[in-house]
Amino acid sequence: MRHLQNKLACIFLLANLIFPLLCNSQIKGGKQNPYLLDITQTIQAYKEQVLSNPQMRMVDLAKTIPRIRIDIRYATKNNFTREVIYTEPKAFLRKPVAEALKKVQDSLAFYKIGLKVFDAYRPYAATLRFYEVYPDTNFVANPRKGSRHNRGCAIDLTLIELATGKELPMPTPFDDFSPKANPEYTELPEPVLTNRKFLFELMAHFGFKPISTEWWHFDYSGWADYKLMDLSFKELEEAEK
C-alpha cells in the first residue's frame, strides 16, 4: 500500500510539473511557445512596451524609407521552404533600426544605388516553421533561442540600381545555402567582391553587422535589448491605429 501511495505521489508531482509547461506552450490565439521563451505574443503587451519605451515601436519600412524596394520572399513560394509563410509582403523593424537603415538608403542615393529588402521582422511562428523545414542552424535560427529577426533587429537585403531596380552582382541569390554565401568566401569575380565590400562597410558604418554564413543578413547592434515577438503584420498594423 505504501509503495502504491509513493507511486501515486510521484505521478501527481510529475503532472503538476508537466501540465503548466504544456499550458504555457500556447497562449490565447493558439500561438506556439514550445521552449518557454520570453516572447511578446499579444498586441496589448506590445503596446505596453511601446508606451514604456517608444524605441520599441515597430516601423513599416515601405512607409518610412523613400524609394526602398520591398521583395518579401516569404510572402511567396519563391523561398527555400517553397511555402507561403507570411500572409502579407511587409517589412517592419524597430524604430532605431529603421532609422539607421534610412541613413544607409540616404547615403546610397549619392551613388544612384538603393536597397532591396528580402526580409525584416519575422514572427516567431515563422522561425519554428523554418526549422521544421531545414533544421540546420548554420542558416536557420534555432527556435530554442529565437532569431534576431524575431526581435525586429535583423534585415536581409541587397543593393539595386535606383533607376532600374536591377540588383547589383552579389556572391549568390538570396537564401542560397552554399559556401559562396559566406562573407569570407573570396573565389568570386572582382565586381562581386567590390559590391559586397561596399555593402558591408556602409552597413557597418550605421551599426549593422553581417553573420558568418549569409552575406545578405545583417544584425543591428544592441539587438539583445529587444524582446522576441510573435505578432503578425496585421496585428502590428492594428496596434498603430
Cβ atoms 172, 185 nearer than 8 A: no
Phi-psi region of 225 (alpha: psi -120 to 50; beta: other; left: phi over 0): alpha
User: What is the C-alpha to C-alpha distance for residues 170 and 188, in angstroms, rounded to an integer?
Assistant: 9
Say how many C-beta atoms besides its own lie within 10 A of residue 156's C-beta: 23
DSSP-derived secondary structure letter, 167:
B
Model confidence at 241, pLDDT cuts 50, 70, 90, reads: confident
For 109-119, the pLDDT digits (tens) are: 999 999 999 99
Q: Is the pTM of this model over 0.85?
A: yes
Best CATH choice for the domain 40-239 from the list 3.30.1380.10, 3.40.50.970, 1.10.3720.10, 3.30.365.10:
3.30.1380.10
**Residue among 75, 112, 114 nearest 91 (CA):** 75
Tell me what the pLDDT averaged over the chain comes to.
Answer: 90
Backbone angles phi, psi at 150, to 5 degrees: -65, -20
In angstroms, rounded to a whole number, what is the distance separating the alpha carbons of residues 184 and 164?
A: 29
User: Per-residue pLDDT tens for 66-114?
Assistant: 999 999 999 999 999 999 999 999 999 999 999 999 999 999 999 999 9
Measured CA to CA, the distance from residue 196 to residue 74 in angstroms comes to 23
